[in-house]
Amino acid sequence: MKGLHSSGRHAASPNFPKRGFDLTEHITNGASRYQTEKVRVAIIGVGNCASSFVQGVQYYRDADPNERVPGLMHVDLGGYHVSDIEFSAAFDIDADKVGKDLSDAIWSGQNNTIKFADVPKLDVPVQRGMTHDGLGKYLKEKITKAPGETVDIVSILKETKTDVVVSYLPVGSELATKWYVEQILEAGCGFVNCIPVFIAREEYWGNRFQQKGLPIVGDDIKSQVGATIVHRQLARLFGDRGVKMLRTSQLNVGGNMDFYNMLERERLESKKISKTNAVTSIMEHELPKDDVYIGPSDYVPWLTDRKWAHIRVEGQAFGDVPLNLELKLEVWDSPNSAGIVTDAVRLCKLALNHGIGGQLDGPSSYLMKSPHTQRP
């Protein structure tokens, strides 16, 4: 197959039919799948990342696919424009968000990311989701759990004709993530796993999605220009230029609920593994564990949704002379990830149209920190 249609820019992955093909019922392993002109997306966790994603779809609705548009890797991806993304359902457990329209909920509760677009009413109510381990001991100090029972996730996903589900659950939500994955499989949807709970990279889950002809992109979103991808490029640069890396660190601070939640260190095991492996996997030699530290460090409330990443790399250069590098990256954390999700959901939709199931290897490697297969 030819490269993926991408408005003349870099191609990747197989070529799928462009928009405008016959709207026929597509059968994948016995499950009906309607090919449509839209990408119907449900969101789990209406926090800052969801806010930026929802704002972005509105912000770029009139973007010209023939122009290079700042903030987007692809205006048109496989025939789907950003404006073809529409939101079908949303789930949360925060009493400040449940019951509100998604367009209002993205400004509610502890959300504190930057506003860059006005979002009209979407007629998508935020419904009561499952808690399990999604509300850690620190989050409980800030968030009041909505009353009532968990809604029937499977029925809602089916009734709303959801194509792809995006998970923005808090770090450490191991049980909640796996519970939601079961609902997604039963409902017959694709899945984008933005958090460091390992699903796409695990053979068990990958096989189950493949058996049902359902795609998954994961795990743990890699921002457009975030600490992970910058650190990876520095590690590659040292190796390419003949400098031996001796030790490295990456310290991250921020003021959103993600960082507040990560004060509970017991929830961080998979996060540290994800961020560390994303960097060390590109190195030419293995460093002792004590010579690598990569992870979240602290919560600074006045930073709001901004994140500061401090990266240090120490190396050995020509003549065994020391070569040290320090870098500080300042970003708005949630918008930095939204452009990636914008591509991920469209890739999942394209895979659904073709009955391609299991983890999508190329997209996961390019868009996620902890894919099944790490690539340079």
CATH match for 227-332 among 3.40.50.720, 3.30.360.10, 2.40.10.340, 3.40.30.10: 3.30.360.10
Check the CA dihedral 353-356-358-362 and report its sign.
negative
pLDDT for 22? 34
pLDDT at residue 295, rounded to an integer: 84
pLDDT at residue 178 in the model: 98
Structure confidence by residue, pLDDT tens digits, 356-373: 999 999 999 999 999 999
Query: So what's the pLDDT on residue 247?
Result: 97
Residues 6+ apart with CB under 8 A from 356: 213, 215
d(CA 162, CA 78): 19
Tokens describing residue 150? 């968990």
Mean pLDDT by 10 residues, the chain (376 residues): 31 35 36 66 99 99 96 96 98 99 99 99 99 96 97 98 98 97 98 97 97 97 95 95 96 97 89 85 86 90 98 98 98 98 98 96 96 88
| Tally of CB atoms within 10 A around 241 | 11
User: What's the CA gap between 356 and 348, in Å, rounded?
Assistant: 9
Query: What is residue 11's predicted lDDT score, i.e. its pLDDT?
Result: 33
Strands 322-332 and 306-316: antiparallel
Architecture of domain 25-223+335-367: 3-Layer(aba) Sandwich (3.40)
Question: Is 0.95 surpassed by the pTM of this model?
Answer: no
Domain residue spans of the chain: 25-223+335-367, 227-332
User: Which pLDDT score is estimated for 36?
Assistant: 64
Q: Tokens in use for 314? A: 């120490």
Neighbours of 351 (CB within 10 A): 26
Note the pLDDT of residue 35: 54
